[in-house]
Amino acid sequence: MGSKSLKMIDSMFKSYKIEKRFGKKIKSFEPGGIVFEDDSILSSDLTIFIPASAGHTVLKNSDIPLTEAGFIKIDESCLVTGTENVYAAGDIAAIEGPEWKAKQGHIAELMGKQAAYNIIMKESGSSKRKSYKEHINILCIMDTGNGAAFVFRNGKRAFAIPMPWLGHLVKRGWGQYAQLTKRGIIPRFPGL
């Protein structure tokens, strides 16, 4: 997210009394919290664990080429490494890019669209290909229930903007818009 954005998010966390732990391995999950390698405890009423560094177990039993972390190796056209007609898009694939790269919903969608385009091009004998790499950015509205923070980063800029009360409505509105347009109930604005 960039150092400026992290500072803002840090103060946001503090205002919500959200504690953080960095650089410590998790030892175990207990009913009342999370225990770290140094036996320190982060108390919690509800623990949700998102294993960002482990691929899907289904892949482990396949012959699909995987990174050490267990994500599918692809080239920038989303073609699975070492194959001629297998494509992978979204979180399941290992994406390449700057060190701040993040797997996000809009990147997954873009990869899906580009994989479809690249399949059509290949099948029609064209050498044209689209790459997901140049579109990597971070674009996120972090909803806090009574507001939000807008976070953006690309190769040139990185910032976070607090959006008191309005941010929550924007995020909710976006959710409704995304659902209704995906289901074809209302048309999409071009490019959005």
Ligand X SMILES: Cc1cc2nc3c(=O)[nH]c(=O)nc-3n(C[C@H](O)[C@H](O)[C@H](O)COP(=O)(O)OP(=O)(O)OC[C@H]3O[C@@H](n4cnc5c(N)ncnc54)[C@H](O)[C@@H]3O)c2cc1C
Residue 56 or residue 128: which is nearer to ligand X going by CB? 56
Task: Tell me if 90 contacts ligand X by CB under 6 A.
Answer: yes
**N- to C-terminal Cα separation, the chain:** 22
Number of residues that bind ligand X (CB under 6 A): 11
CA distance 55 to 108: 15
Give residues 47-66 in contact with ligand X (rule: CB under 6 A).
50, 58
φ and ψ at 170, to 5 degrees?
-65, -45
Task: Tell me if 46 contacts ligand X by CB under 6 A.
Answer: no
Among 7, 60, 106, 188, binds ligand X (CB under 6 A): 106
Task: Tell me if 192 contacts ligand X by CB under 6 A.
Answer: no
Residue 38 or residue 45: which is nearer to ligand X going by CB? 45
Say which residues have a Cβ less than 8 Å from residue 156's Cβ, sequence separation at least 6: none
Q: Measuring CA to CA, how many Å separate 147 from each of 7, 13, 166?
A: 18, 13, 6
CA distance 31 to 5: 33
Question: In the stretch 114-153, what mask flags binding to ligand X with x, by CB under 6 A?
Answer: --------------------------x-------------
CA distance 171 to 164: 12
- 148, two tokens: 């939000």
Q: How far is the CB of 78 from ligand X (least distance, A)?
A: 11
Residue 42 or residue 108: which is nearer to ligand X going by CB? 108
Task: Tell me if 110 contacts ligand X by CB under 6 A.
Answer: no
Residues binding ligand X (CB under 6 A)? 50, 58, 90-92, 103-106, 108, 140
